[in-house]
Structure 1
């Protein structure tokens, strides 16, 4: 059974390194990455790497806490909180896995916390 922990650790490592090889290692060649539901996805590993690097965060700028809601061989649903120095987001990630543990489809929902 695919376990999301190793993949998410790799995602956080890539998030902090912005290393193209770290990013590419997470995804299948034909993966799709939805930055929000119903948006046009980034298509293919090369596009995912390029788009990611075009939106990169500074290393160590954010923290990510998470826990799995549902884990199967093919899909993990993860709930998380991303905290930046000036803002916080709630996240819901759908991670569709290939048999080798790489992601074939990623969809994220995010919502900024109210700052009242």
Structure 2
């Protein structure tokens, strides 16, 4: 799979699965030994199961998410995708804006991802 197609699939799948709180579908985007860093000072999540557990945990206090992923910017085997989410967390409205950086393998699966985000 070419990187542009993989990146668009990544964005589309995350957008739909986040909206429906479906971490198992999101997990299909990653290799078994993928690494994900969710914030600069947190240790990375190593492996598909750890990534899935993190996503499940992050969805646990969130309700009614409205999720939008932008058009991926692609270079070689890498992509960057901005995203914007409005939801309620612990009953309070929250807005999250961020960007995910993805490295893909030749099969179009994510081997390494890093998010930078801010809530307000």
Calculate the TM-score normalised by the size of structure 2.
0.78
Which of 25, 29, 42 does residue 39 from structure 1 map onto? Answer: 42
CA RMSD of aligned residues (A): 2.2
Instruction: Structure 1 unaligned segments of length 5 or more: list them.
Output: none
Cα distance in 2 between the residues matched to 1:47 and 1:28: 12
Aligned residues: 112
Q: Which has the higher strand share?
A: 2
Give the aligned partner of residue 112 of structure 2: 105
Question: Is residue 79–residue 91 contact of structure 1 (8 Å, CA) maintained in 2?
Answer: yes
Post-superposition shift, 1:37? 2.5
CA gap 1:68/1:37 in 2 versus in 1, 3 angstroms: farther
For residue 68 of structure 1, give the secondary structure of its aligned residue in structure 2.
coil
Which of 54, 57, 78 does residue 54 from structure 1 map onto? Answer: 57
